Structures are given as structure tokens and as C-alpha cells.
């Protein structure tokens, strides 16, 4: 029976739903479920077909099935010195099969599933690796067939499977969600225009939620698992459509909000002098994107452009030409980067050119002494400094620009949406150029940066060497270091990267300090092996990097501070300790620190025991490809969009059902529909778009910084 519409709302707490209460409400909150709306849009990630229950004798390895039986016995078993497993033996009239758990609470499991209980199980049988190759089922969903009144086993149905949390049984969670759907789905407003529903033959929103949570038994479970049913496609489209409408809305309204920008004169004499200082020709890709940027800068509205370029493709030179263009137009400019060491590297690379061109430049980080910081801030405010390079310190209230004309943001995915936009508020609506060396799949770019113009720097400078990548597991670690010796014997240099600076009680990882001492004292006492990390003082880091560039250091042991911004042409070897612990894009960035000179280069990944499935997938992907966009697609598949970009940092809207790899065609369709809609109704003022506008505001307002323009 439906709830009284005057009594209930989307924001009602789940605590007061029948069967929840205060304790379960806390468990639901761990899943992000606080209110009715959260529960309605907490969608299944797969389905179980319990319309056909098999006998144990008919189970086939690799085929997900449902079967019933009686618990015959239960025992814990040891595998090795540390691992324990729980084996519960299930029998029916055709045979017996062990169900095994590697992660379990023994007391809870033995009390919950006593010998003699009738149970229903769903899982994927497989061949055992330990006991003579028989069939077993690992971590199945298991449920006692209750004889209590009003409780029936979930047999003869298509059963949705949700992500759960410890202490909250999946059947209980299913029961709560079913109750909310049955009694409160009527609260859900339709947000898609009628013409879109008709054109795509989508069910209405309430109906779609019913079909996804309570699927009809005649639906193919394969279609449900691959998110191909009309109801699922509708909810996927809706999610993308909301984001794309918001981006289209933002693109149309932000220029009006911030006012007119300043048109620059481009390709002036200062740029000509700089080009003569360069010892190399720009690539065709660099010339192409600079043409696109200069066309933007010549307009009287602020540029809003993203440059995507793989590691070593020449973004810094392109950025410097843009900065000098701003200087030539008598404005200040800023280059904002996420870390102090990257800011230092940019400063050291750019400063020599600025000195020869008579351009004032300064480095601003939070680590500056108070007196020096105050003096630099004063010079920026008075316009004495033309180019300012710094970290997020640039957006602090204490920094005021006299005339900021251009802001360049490097490695932009490490900044939050509001941080990126804060630098733009430091001047009179400056031009904005953002850059990333992390290639972003097209689907993610359309989702995150739909309001921006995008340029692709897809060509490397001549002479860049291909980098061969090899994996060495711990027993063959010495072979990797033998390669290091062979490289240093040729007069080359090497990086060795470790994930931690010093020993951790919780993570058994090789540390940078340990590795540096081991290499220097035990393996290579004749070599100069130094250590660099983020906790060092700026002057100390700069001295070490200068010595490394001057070939006074043979091997540089480092933490991930060297991930970006370091260019050492004589470095031909990158060794990454505990490579299984690094993200795929991070491995790609680190590998890009070598191969910058005329010599062939290698990247050696040293992995240790107990590599996870995701870890194996990352190592396999990085070994097979050096193409940043191929790697980015793999990274997105492995980690998902939130983790790929860092949900909190990027402002990535949380996708509850859509998948950026699987659903790229739906995304492109939703984008086309969204931009067409905004062409017809730029302010979403049509009464039939009222629900759409309100939902966009509540769902995406903070994430995409829409509140000031809706």
C-alpha cells in the first residue's frame, strides 16, 4: 500500500521504516543510505536467477547457480601458517559439496548456520586447488530456509544483489529496499521530457525503479547483469543526462556570470624572442594546440580550455608560450600545480628563459618563511611580478593580483572543482588553461569537462625513446638490480621509487630509506646513491636534483615526489619497488621519467607476494602498453571513475548505475539530447522542465559548482 503523500518525503530518515530502527539505520548509513531517496536509487549490481534451482550433482564449474541442501558438517581448516578457511559441507539427495569462506567470523557463522539447517545457496562452483580437484563453491550467498511464519525462501524469483556491509544480512537489506520501493516509489518525480521518453521508448521513472529492484521473472538474467533492460538503460541515460544538462547549463551561463574577458594580442615580439631561445622545433601537435589557444585568447570572453597530453609530449613549453603572451599584454599570469616539488621544477625550468627575456618570475609555496612570503605577496599585489608559479597557496586570501590575465593549472585532476575555479576569481575574469599528463578517456572527459574546450597533444618530440617494461617478482629482485649495474656501467643514471619514506607498522613495504641504505652499503658501495622525498626542505631537494642533472649522482632513490615534472635525459632506468601498490596512471607517470634522451630506456616493476587481482590487472596493463589513452581506459575499468580521478578532488558526480566504459553510447546520446534541450530552453524555464532543474540542482549543485548560476 502506498504511503500518504502528505506524510512522507524523499528526505525522510530510513530509521523509521518498518524493520530498520536505530541500529540498522547506522549500518545502512555505512552504505550511504540515510533517507528514502538514497534507498530508492541504491541499485543492484547483479542478479541471481532462482527461478531454476539445481541439484548438487548437476552443478557445473564456472556457471553461477542456485541450489539447496542440508548442512552436513562444518569445520575450520588451516592453509599454511596463517590462513584459515571455513568449510561447510552441503548435501542433497544427489551428492555433497563444500562451501568455503576465506573471510569469516567463526562464532557468527557456526551459530547462524548450525549442522542440520536447510539452506539455499547461490554462487559459482569451481575446481578446488587443494583437495584433489573436486568441485567447491567459495563465498556463496547462503540463507537459512526459515520455517517462521511470514518468512519464505527467495526461490522461484529473479533476486537483486546489492552491495552490503558487515552486520547487515543481504536478505535483510533486500527486504528493507523492497519495502521502500513498494511504499514510497510514488514520490519519485519524472524528470525526462515526454519527447525524450517517446523517442527512446523509455519507461517512466517510477516504473523503471520498480523493474530494477523487483524484476519480472521473465526478464533474461543476462540482460539484467549487463544492464541492457529498458529500465536500466533509462536510469543510465537519466544519470548521464543530468550531468550533461548541468554542464551545458554551466557552459552557457558562466560567461554571462563572470562578465567579458580581455582579448589578447598574440604572436608578438616577446614570443618571437622566446622561440629563438629554444634549441628545438615545436611538434606539429604543439603548433596545432597553440593555434587553438591563441584563437581563444584573441576573444573578449575568458578562455576555458583543457590540454590533454601524455607524459613528455611538451605541455610545459606550450604553457610557457601562453604565459609569455599574457605578459606581453601587460597582465600578470599564474601557473598553479599540486605539489611543491613540481612547482620547484617548473620554476627551475622556466626561470632561465625569463631571465634572458627580462620577465620577472617568482615561486610561491606554503613552505616559504613568513617574512619572504609577505614580501612576495606585496610584489604580486603591486604588479611587480609578472609570472607567479605556486601550489594551492596561490588561491589563499592573502594573495591578491593587480592584473591577472591568465591562469594555467597543471595536473588539474589533483585539484577540486572549487579550487580550480578559485584561481579564476583572483583577477578580472582571466583566461583559464588547464593541463593534464594523465590521459582521460573520452567518456570521462565528456562527463567531467563538458563545459570546456579540449585540445589533444598527441605527438611526442623527435628522439623520444620507447620504454621497455618488465615485471620481476621478489625472488628475482636481484636480476632487476643487475640491470641497474649494467646501466650505470654505461654511464647512465637510474631512479628507484618506493611507496613509503620510512617504516610503517601497518604496511610491510620496502621504504625509500631502507632501499637507499641497502643499495649504497651492500650492493653498490662504489656508486653515488642519494635519497629525495617530500619531507625534505626545498633547498635540499633542489640541490639533490641539480646534482642528479649534473650526473654527480648515479642512482636517485625517491618516493612518488618524482612522479611528475622531472626531466633527466641521461636517466635510462626506472625501478619501482612494490609496483603492485601503485595505481596504473601513477605507474605510467613514473615510467615517463625515463626515455627522455637519446638512449633506450627500461622500466622494471618489482612486485611482492599476495598481489591482488586488481594489482595483477594493473601490472599486466602497464607491461602491455605505453599508450597513455589505452592505459587510461584500463585504469577506468579497474578502478571506476571516482577512484580514477579521485572523487573528492575532481568533483566527479557519483555514478549510481552508469558505467563510463560500458555505456559510452548512452552517454553520447544523453549529451546530444542535453545540449539540444538547452538550445531550446537555455534557462530551463519551461514548466515541464521544473523537476529536471530542481533535481539537477539537488544532485549536482555542489559537485559541479552550479549553485551560483541556477
Q: In angstroms, rounded to a whole number, what is the distance separating the alpha carbons of residues 208 and 219?
A: 14
Amino acid 704: pLDDT: 61
Q: In angstroms, rounded to a whole number, what is the distance separating the alpha carbons of residues 108 and 113?
A: 8
Q: In angstroms, rounded to a whole number, what is the distance separating the alpha carbons of residues 704 and 588?
A: 28
Which of 64, 90, 87, 55 lies closest to 74 in space, CA to CA?
87
Taking a C-beta distance cutoff of 8 angstroms, is the pair 414, 343 a contact? Answer: no
Q: With 0-12 CB in 10 A as exposed, 13-18 as middle and 19+ as buried, what is 608?
A: middle
Radius of gyration for the chain, computed over Cα atoms and rounded to the nearest angstrom? 29
Taking a C-beta distance cutoff of 8 angstroms, is the pair 489, 341 a contact? Answer: no
Taking a C-beta distance cutoff of 8 angstroms, is the pair 567, 344 a contact? Answer: no
Q: In angstroms, rounded to a whole number, what is the distance separating the alpha carbons of residues 557 and 310?
A: 24
Q: In angstroms, rounded to a whole number, what is the distance separating the alpha carbons of residues 456 and 436?
A: 10
Name the 3-class secondary structure at 224: helix
Q: In angstroms, rounded to a whole number, what is the distance separating the alpha carbons of residues 687 and 480?
A: 67
> Strand pairing of 135-138 and 387-390?
unpaired
Q: In angstroms, rounded to a whole number, what is the distance separating the alpha carbons of residues 336 and 25?
A: 43
Per DSSP, 523 falls in state: I
Which of 190, 194, 226 lies closest to 208 in space, CA to CA?
190
Amino acid 646: pLDDT: 44
Taking a C-beta distance cutoff of 8 angstroms, is the pair 336, 391 a contact? Answer: yes
Q: Is the dihedral of CA 72, 74, 79, 83 positive or negative?
A: positive
Amino acid 658: pLDDT: 86
Numbers of helices and strands, H then E, in the chain: 25, 22
Pick the CATH number of 467-625 from 3.40.50.300, 3.40.50.410, 3.10.20.580, 3.40.50.150: 3.40.50.300
Estimate the crossing angle of helix 170-184 against helix 21-30, to 10 degrees: 100
Exposure letters 623-633 (e unless 16+ CB within 10 A, then b) = eeebebbebbb
Count of other CB atoms within 10 angstroms of residue 705 = 18
Per DSSP, 38 falls in state: H
Does CATH place domain 1-48+166-187 in 1.25.40?
A: no
> Under CATH, which architecture does the 52-155 domain have?
Beta Barrel (2.40)
Q: With 0-12 CB in 10 A as exposed, 13-18 as middle and 19+ as buried, what is 252?
A: middle
> Strand pairing of 118-123 and 65-79?
antiparallel
Taking a C-beta distance cutoff of 8 angstroms, is the pair 313, 458 a contact? Answer: yes
Domains 1-48+166-187 and 52-155 share a fold: no
Q: With 0-12 CB in 10 A as exposed, 13-18 as middle and 19+ as buried, what is 599?
A: middle
The 3-state DSSP composition of the chain as helix, strand, coil percent (nearest 5) reads 45, 20, 40
Amino acid 132: pLDDT: 64
Estimate the crossing angle of helix 315-328 against helix 284-297, to 10 degrees: 30
Amino acid 346: pLDDT: 86
Name the 3-class secondary structure at 486: helix
Q: In angstroms, rounded to a whole number, what is the distance separating the alpha carbons of residues 306 and 449?
A: 8
Q: In angstroms, rounded to a whole number, what is the distance separating the alpha carbons of residues 660 and 115?
A: 45
Domain ranges of the chain: 1-48+166-187, 52-155, 269-298+314-436, 467-625
Q: In angstroms, rounded to a whole number, what is the distance separating the alpha carbons of residues 451 and 444?
A: 13
Q: In angstroms, rounded to a whole number, what is the distance separating the alpha carbons of residues 607 and 603?
A: 13
> Strand pairing of 304-309 and 453-457?
parallel
Count of other CB atoms within 10 angstroms of residue 597 = 18
Q: In angstroms, rounded to a whole number, what is the distance separating the alpha carbons of residues 204 and 200?
A: 11
pLDDT digits (tens, 9 = 90+) for 152-196: 556 778 889 898 888 888 888 999 999 999 989 888 999 999 999
Q: In angstroms, rounded to a whole number, what is the distance separating the alpha carbons of residues 425 and 499?
A: 36
CATH superfamily of 269-298+314-436: P-loop containing nucleotide triphosphate hydrolases (3.40.50.300)
Taking a C-beta distance cutoff of 8 angstroms, is the pair 358, 327 a contact? Answer: no
- For 291, residues 6+ apart whose C-beta sits below 8 A from its C-beta are none
- Cell numbers 654505461 correspond to 490
Taking a C-beta distance cutoff of 8 angstroms, is the pair 531, 610 a contact? Answer: no
Q: In angstroms, rounded to a whole number, what is the distance separating the alpha carbons of residues 709 and 296?
A: 23
Q: In angstroms, rounded to a whole number, what is the distance separating the alpha carbons of residues 495 and 561?
A: 12
Taking a C-beta distance cutoff of 8 angstroms, is the pair 80, 130 a contact? Answer: no
User: Which residues of the chain are under the pLDDT cut of 70?
Assistant: 1-8, 80-82, 130-133, 146-154, 253-260, 411-421, 424, 427-428, 438-444, 446-451, 463, 500-510, 561-566, 639-654, 701-710
- For 363, residues 6+ apart whose C-beta sits below 8 A from its C-beta are 343, 344, 347, 389, 390
The three cell numbers of residue 113 are: 548456520
> Please, what is the end-to-end C-alpha distance for the chain in angstroms?
37
Amino acid 641: pLDDT: 59
Q: In angstroms, rounded to a whole number, what is the distance separating the alpha carbons of residues 605 and 685?
A: 56
- Cell numbers 633506450 correspond to 600
Q: With 0-12 CB in 10 A as exposed, 13-18 as middle and 19+ as buried, what is 265?
A: exposed
The three cell numbers of residue 70 are: 542440508
Q: In angstroms, rounded to a whole number, what is the distance separating the alpha carbons of residues 212 and 323?
A: 52
| Angle (CA) 466 467 471, round 5° | 150
The three cell numbers of residue 671 are: 549529451
- Cell numbers 590533454 correspond to 308
Q: Give me the percent of the chain exceeding a pLDDT of 70.
A: 84
Amino acid 150: pLDDT: 45
pLDDT digits (tens, 9 = 90+) for 514-565: 899 999 999 999 999 999 887 788 788 888 888 998 999 999 998 876 655 5
| Side-chain half-sphere exposure of 670, counting CA atoms within 13 A | 28
Amino acid 241: pLDDT: 94
Q: In angstroms, rounded to a whole number, what is the distance separating the alpha carbons of residues 245 and 579?
A: 40
The three cell numbers of residue 698 are: 539537488
Length, in residues, of the chain: 710
Inter-CA distances, 655 with 213, 410, 620, Å: 17, 26, 27
Amino acid at each position: 500500500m502506498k504511503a500518504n503523500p502528505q506524510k512522507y518525503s524523499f528526505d525522510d530518515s530510513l530509521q523509521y521504516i518498518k524493520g530498520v530502527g536505530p541500529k540498522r539505520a547506522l549500518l545502512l548509513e555505512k552504505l550511504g543510505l540515510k533517507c528514502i531517496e538514497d534507498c530508492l536509487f541504491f541499485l543492484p549490481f547483479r542478479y541471481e536467477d532462482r527461478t531454476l534451482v539445481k541439484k548438487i550433482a548437476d552443478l557445473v564449474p564456472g556457471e553461477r547457480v542456485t541450489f539447496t541442501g542440508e548442512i552436513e558438517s562444518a569445520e575450520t581448516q588451516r592453509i599454511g601458517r596463517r590462513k584459515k578457511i571455513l568449510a561447510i559441507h552441503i548435501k542433497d539427495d544427489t551428492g555433497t559439496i563444500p562451501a568455503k569462506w576465506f573471510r569469516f567470523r567463526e562464532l557468527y557463522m557456526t551459530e547462524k548456520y548450525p549442522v542440520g539447517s536447510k539452506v539455499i545457496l547461490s554462487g559459482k562452483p569451481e575446481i578446488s586447488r587443494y583437495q584433489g580437484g573436486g568441485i567447491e563453491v567459495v563465498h556463496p550467498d547462503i540463507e537459512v530456509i526459515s520455517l517462521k511464519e511470514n518468512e519464505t525462501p527467495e526461490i522461484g524469483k529473479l533476486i537483486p544483489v546489492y552491495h552490503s556491509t558487515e552486520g547487515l544480512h543481504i536478505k535483510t537489506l533486500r527486504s528493507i529496499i523492497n519495502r521502500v520501493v513498494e511504499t514510497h516509489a510514488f514520490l519519485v518525480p519524472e524528470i525526462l521530457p515526454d519527447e525524450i521518453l517517446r523517442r527512446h521508448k523509455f519507461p517512466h521513472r517510477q516504473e523503471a525503479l520498480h523493474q530494477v529492484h523487483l524484476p519480472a521473472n521473465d526478464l533474461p538474467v543476462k540482460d539484467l547483469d549487463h544492464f541492457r533492460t529498458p529500465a536500466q538503460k533509462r536510469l543510465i541515460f537519466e544519470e548521464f543526462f543530468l550531468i550533461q544538462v548541468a554542464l551545458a547549463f554551466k557552459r552557457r551561463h558562466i560567461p554571462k556570470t563572470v562578465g567579458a574577458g580581455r582579448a589578447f594580442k598574440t604572436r608578438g615580439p616577446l614570443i618571437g624572442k622566446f622561440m629563438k631561445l629554444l634549441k628545438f622545433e615545436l611538434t606539429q601537435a604543439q603548433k596545432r594546440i597553440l593555434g587553438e589557444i591563441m584563437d581563444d585568447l584573441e576573444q573578449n570572453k575568458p578562455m576555458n580550455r583543457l590540454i590533454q597530453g601524455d607524459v613528455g609530449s611538451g605541455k610545459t613549453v606550450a604553457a610557457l608560450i601562453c604565459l609569455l603572451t599574457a605578459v606581453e599584454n601587460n597582465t600578470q599570469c599564474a601557473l598553479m600545480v599540486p605539489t611543491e616539488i613540481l612547482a620547484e621544477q617548473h620554476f627551475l625550468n622556466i626561470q632561465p628563459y625569463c631571465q634572458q627575456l627580462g620577465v620577472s618570475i617568482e615561486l610561491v609555496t606554503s613552505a616559504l618563511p613568513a617574512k619572504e612570503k609577505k614580501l612576495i605577496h606585496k610584489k604580486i599585489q603591486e604588479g611587480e611580478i609578472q609570472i607567479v608559479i605556486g601550489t594551492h597557496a596561490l588561491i589563499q586570501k592573502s594573495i591578491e593580483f593587480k592584473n591577472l590575465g591568465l591562469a594555467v593549472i597543471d595536473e588539474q585532476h589533483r585539484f577540486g572543482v572549487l579550487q580550480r575555479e578559485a584561481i579564476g576569481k583572483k583577477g578580472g575574469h582571466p583566461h583559464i588553461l588547464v593541463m593534464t599528463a594523465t590521459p582521460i578517456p573520452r567518456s570521462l572527459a565528456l562527463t567531467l569537462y563538458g563545459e570546456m574546450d579540449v585540445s589533444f597533444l598527441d605527438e611526442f618530440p623527435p628522439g623520444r625513446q620507447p620504454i621497455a617494461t618488465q615485471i620481476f617478482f621478489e625472488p628475482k629482485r636481484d636480476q632487476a638490480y643487475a640491470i641497474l649495474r649494467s646501466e650505470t656501467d654505461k654511464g647512465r643514471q637510474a631512479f628507484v621509487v618506493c611507496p613509503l619514506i620510512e617504516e610503517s607498522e601497518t604496511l610491510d613495504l620496502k621504504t625509500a630509506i631502507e632501499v637507499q641504505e641497502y643499495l649504497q652499503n651492500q650492493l653498490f658501495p662504489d656508486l653515488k646513491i642519494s635519497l629525495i622525498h617530500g619531507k625534505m626542505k626545498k633547498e635540499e631537494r633542489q640541490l639533490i636534483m641539480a646534482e642528479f642533472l649534473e650526473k654527480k649522482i648515479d642512482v636517485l632513490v625517491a618516493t612518488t615526489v618524482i612522479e611528475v615534472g622531472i626531466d633527466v635525459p641521461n636517466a635510462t632506468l626506472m625501478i619501482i619497488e612494490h609496483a603492485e601498490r601503485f595505481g596504473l596512471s601513477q605507474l605510467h607517470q613514473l615510467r615517463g621519467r625515463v626515455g627522455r634522451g637519446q638512449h633506450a630506456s627500461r622500466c622494471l616493476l618489482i612486485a611482492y607476494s599476495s598481489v591482488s587481482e586488481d594489482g595483477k590487472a594493473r601490472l599486466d596493463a602497464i607491461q602491455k602498453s605505453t599508450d597513455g589513452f589505452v592505459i587510461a581506459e584500463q585504469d577506468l575499468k579497474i578502478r571506476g571513475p571516482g577512484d580514477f580521478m579521485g572523487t573528492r578532488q575532481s568533483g566527479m558526480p557519483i555514478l549510481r548505475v552508469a558505467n563510463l566504459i560500458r555505456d559510452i553510447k548512452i552517454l553520447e546520446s544523453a549529451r546530444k539530447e542535453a545540449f539540444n534541450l538547452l538550445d531550446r530552453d537555455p534557462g530551463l524555464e519551461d514548466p515541464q522542465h521544473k523537476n529536471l532543474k530542481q533535481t539537477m540542482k539537488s544532485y549536482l549543485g555542489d559537485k559541479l559548482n552550479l549553485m551560483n548560476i541556477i
